[in-house]
A and B are shown apart, each in its own frame.
Chain A
Amino acid sequence: MNSRLPVIVTTIVFLLGFAGCGLHFPHFASTRVVGNLLTDNAYLGVMAVGMTFVIISGGIDLSVGAVLGFTTVFLAIAIGRLGIPPLLAFVLVLLLAGAFGAAMGALIQFLEMPPFIVTLAGMFLARGASFLLSTQSIPVGAPLYDTLNAFALHLPGGGRLTFITLLMLAVFAGGIVLLHFTRFGSYVYALGGSRASTALMGIPVARTTIRIYALSGLLAGLSGIVFSLYTSSGYSLSGVGNELDAIAAVVIGGTLLSGGVGTLFGTFVGVLIEGLIQTYITFDGTLSSWWAKIVTGALLFAFIAFQRLMSGGGFRRSRAGAAAA
């Protein structure tokens, strides 16, 4: 099987979808729409980068949406009520989120617990902690926020690459280097291939696992910062279900949920596809927003079926003998 094929198919689906939207709505195919698409999904992209590492290593991280929520509330309180300088608050929350992820990774590694359960508990914990901080939606008013949000690279045709877009693109670029061009990246794939074999090959499995979840936590915290900049507020219910959007983007991008195979470029296209569906619905104006969920679900389903067929596991040969009676 050609491991690049799923990514190619995903990319073609996105391009066709974009072209279709462009034909349908006269102003769709513009740098303005593309710029907004990227800005609106920057937080999801950052989160999906961490999720890609986790899923390729054969794990899952359900806590990232809750960590995003916690981060927005933490920042709103730290900056707005406690008067902590925003940059310091960013550093603090990133340390906190990274340590939180590392702790989950350590539990998964040393207690040999399934990542699903550990990060599910982490999700409740982080969400509960953000409620503990505040149940209100708190606006964030800081000069740094205004400065960062005002910054943008202007594209020909009126489009803008905002600060958070650039941040997301940088995270993707850094992630691609880390995943595809370093030893750590190869260990991530190795873990997804077989934990037992990886250990027998003398690879530090424990350290790698902890780092993967720490990275995912860190990026979830960063996506919280992006979300905080994007909305200029902190709310304990923000990011509910976002972990599932991130997983969907990763899988649509051609990463196998069972681990071992996948690319960050694919995840990027996966994020774009999810954003495209949302944008289409916004343009249409008459469709309800749940159509985004329905189309995402259908796409996810189609991609998983496609991967199954491609990986040769396909349809099991029926036992001819049993039918011969």
Chain B
Amino acid sequence: MSATPDPVPLLEIRGLGKSFGSIRVLHEVDLLLRAGEIHALLGENGAGKSTLIKCVTGVHGRDAGTVRLGGRDIAPRTTEEALAAGLATVYQEVNLLPNLSVAQNLYLGRQPTRFGIVQGAAMRRRGAELLRGFGLDIDLSRPLGSYSVAVQHVCAIARAVDAQARVLILDEPTASLDSHEVEVLLGVMRQLAGRGLAILFVTHFLDQVYAVCDRITVLRNGRLVGERACAALPRMELVRMMLGRDLEETVSGRAVAEGATRERIGRFRGLGRRGAVAPFDLDLHRGEVVGLAGLLGSGRTETVRLVFGADKPDAGRAEIDDRPVRLHSPRDGLRHRLGYCPEERKTEGIVAELTVRENIVLALQARRGLLRPIPRREQDEIARRFIRLLDIRPADPERPIGLLSGGNQQKALLARWLATEPRILILDEPTRGIDVGAHAEIIRLIRELCADGLALLVVSSELDEIVTYADRVVVLRDRVQVASLEGEAISVSSILHAIAEGDGAASADAGAAA
């Protein structure tokens, strides 16, 4: 914790509203930031954190509300104006220039000059002094790109702070750092708060929130859920605030699968990738749905990408049918009959300009290789079969898939992977961005597929949905697998508990995972 926060707010955001077109993304959001405090801004995907920051720092205009800095109304229209007013922002992507020297990066636009000539030596001396204040002792004449991301982040913060910032906004600065680098950065944050800066810290990592923050503001679906003092807010309560909804107790509708009849298909041991997810164990059985739960950024997508082979693991081994295999590329995954429906349907999944039929046969064609085209008649037959089976509407195989609704696009994607007759199918947020009616249908499909003997691995933020279809739920927190719940142990509250606390439940299932 930093020094005792000044009770008078330095930055006061009141009733901020913002719409994009007809969609309201922020409703009357309030946020108070006091000098000398580190304030966490938390919320799941679509909560409106980024939009809020952008409205305050002049990237977007705002539709309603006031922003007061030090008691004066401000309305910056550009990031430069925000900076001049004293609001500095450092994004997850370091927005500096890797090809310029560290010193140039620190002072670009403000370099000391004499008769128009940049005083390089003076600039480096001042910069070195500045960086030493952050515990960095590096050669400032070397290009910034030759240093680690953590150093670059500190340089970005140093640049922002040296420009007379009074409020520092950090948008997920720790997302690409390892644990030691995170410590360095958190230390810098504490130090700056000690100097009287107000820091707004956006992150997914609750441990870091509890390590440095004084207060927490939670947003959900563009609305303010609440502001709490960090010390007075138990983790469980925080997770509940973030995930929200009326998480009534949905009981698992499924009986525990008979242990004896379960045929293991996939076995993953110690699989991990530095900076993505810590090594984990995972077993996938025929006819079983495994749910992956956790907050945004907890490593769920990273986990399934490793299982499929979309990313190359740097540790661990994978076995399919008890035979060791290497899954280092999507082609490996396809060859071992794994299927993967990614979360970003629009950018990673569908090819909007192609027809439903072409989208459905895409993965099958990829597996066969380009030299063995699927005959048109066979394509038509496959497309028709899946359109009927999954009830894709409109039932026109020749319609460009971009014209279908989200739910039907999702079904077509499912069809693409089902056409390859996979044994393990991975679904990443299968119900995201589709309407409520389609949710139920996707869930029905998941259950049917499972009954047909597929092994399913499903990532979802919808805890109540996971509870209805999963036989086993693996919970991740801060990129570590922290619990595995099975059978009757699966409930919304037990999952919430595991996300918040991270242990306890894990031991109960240690035997099942091994």
- Give A contacts to B, CB under 8 Å: 3, 177, 181-183, 185-187, 189-190, 192-194, 196-198, 200-203, 260-261, 319-322, 324-325
Contact A196-B326, Cβ < 8 Å, known A201-B108, A325-B335: no
B108 touches A182 (CB 8 A): no
Contact A186-B329, Cβ < 8 Å, known A201-B95, A203-B108, A203-B109: no
CB contacts (< 8 Å) of A194 on chain B: these are 95, 97
Could you pull out 9 A-B pairs where Cβ atoms are within 8 angstroms? A181-B117, A181-B118, A183-B116, A201-B109, A202-B109, A319-B329, A320-B326, A321-B331, A322-B331
Question: With A and B bound together, what is the CA distance between A260 and B327 in angstroms?
Answer: 38
B491 part of interface (Cβ distance < 8 Å): no
A320 touches B328 (CB 8 A): yes
Binds A, one of B37-45, B98-106, B256-264, B295-303: B98-106
B79 part of interface (Cβ distance < 8 Å): yes
CB contacts (< 8 Å) of B120 on chain A: these are 181
Contact A193-B95, Cβ < 8 Å, known A181-B117, A181-B118, A322-B329: no
B111 part of interface (Cβ distance < 8 Å): yes
B83 part of interface (Cβ distance < 8 Å): yes
A321 touches B118 (CB 8 A): no
Question: With A and B bound together, what is the CA distance between A128 and B434 in angstroms?
Answer: 57
Chain B 94-136 interface residues, beta-carbon cutoff 8 Å to A: 95-100, 104, 108-109, 111, 113, 116-118, 120
A183 touches B111 (CB 8 A): yes
The 5 closest A-B pairs by CB, nearest first: A321-B328, A193-B97, A260-B99, A202-B80, A193-B99
Question: With A and B bound together, what is the CA distance between A280 and B326 in angstroms?
Answer: 57
- Give B contacts to A, CB under 8 Å: 79-80, 83, 95-100, 104, 108-109, 111, 113, 116-118, 120, 143, 159, 309, 312, 326-329, 331-332, 335
Question: With A and B bound together, what is the CA distance between A218 and B309 in angstroms?
Answer: 55
B117 touches A190 (CB 8 A): no
CB contacts (< 8 Å) of B109 on chain A: these are 183, 187, 201-203
Question: With A and B bound together, what is the CA distance between A200 and B113 in angstroms?
Answer: 22
B329 touches A189 (CB 8 A): no
B97 touches A189 (CB 8 A): yes
Question: With A and B bound together, what is the CA distance between A241 and B79 in angstroms?
Answer: 43
Question: With A and B bound together, what is the CA distance between A111 and B100 in angstroms?
Answer: 27
CB contacts (< 8 Å) of B108 on chain A: these are 186-187, 190, 198, 201, 203
A321 touches B332 (CB 8 A): yes
B95 touches A196 (CB 8 A): yes
A193 touches B98 (CB 8 A): yes
Question: With A and B bound together, what is the CA distance between A260 and B144 in angstroms?
Answer: 13
CB contacts (< 8 Å) of B113 on chain A: these are 182-183
A189 touches B100 (CB 8 A): yes
Please give the distance in Å from A7's CB to the nearest CB on chain B.
15
B97 touches A197 (CB 8 A): yes
- Chain A's closest residue to B117 (CB) is A181
Contact A190-B97, Cβ < 8 Å, known A3-B143, A202-B83: yes
CB contacts (< 8 Å) of B331 on chain A: these are 319, 321-322
Best-surrounded residue of B99, B100, B332 (most CB of chain A within 10 A): B99
Question: With A and B bound together, what is the CA distance between A322 and B331 in angstroms?
Answer: 7
Please give the distance in Å from B214's CB to the nearest CB on chain A.
28
A186 touches B332 (CB 8 A): no
A186 touches B118 (CB 8 A): yes
- Chain B's closest residue to A203 (CB) is B109
Contact A201-B327, Cβ < 8 Å, known A181-B117, A183-B113, A183-B118: no
B118 touches A182 (CB 8 A): yes
- Chain A's closest residue to B93 (CB) is A197
B95 touches A200 (CB 8 A): yes
Question: With A and B bound together, what is the CA distance between A325 and B329 in angstroms?
Answer: 12
CB contacts (< 8 Å) of B118 on chain A: these are 181-183, 185-186
Contact of B100 among A186, A321, A324 (CB under 8 A): A186
A321 touches B99 (CB 8 A): no
Please give the distance in Å from A3's CB to the nearest CB on chain B.
7
CB contacts (< 8 Å) of B327 on chain A: these are 321
CB contacts (< 8 Å) of A203 on chain B: these are 108-109
Please give the distance in Å from A19's CB to the nearest CB on chain B.
33
Best-surrounded residue of A192, A200, A319, A325 (most CB of chain B within 10 A): A200
Question: With A and B bound together, what is the CA distance between A192 and B143 in angstroms?
Answer: 14
B79 touches A202 (CB 8 A): yes
B95 touches A197 (CB 8 A): yes
Please give the distance in Å from A237's CB to the nearest CB on chain B.
39
Please give the distance in Å from A262's CB to the nearest CB on chain B.
10
Question: With A and B bound together, what is the CA distance between A321 and B325 in angstroms?
Answer: 10
Please give the distance in Å from A203's CB to the nearest CB on chain B.
5
CB contacts (< 8 Å) of A261 on chain B: these are 99
Besides A181-B118, A320-B326, 9 more A-B contacts (Cβ < 8 Å) are: A190-B108, A193-B100, A197-B96, A201-B97, A201-B159, A203-B109, A320-B328, A321-B326, A325-B335
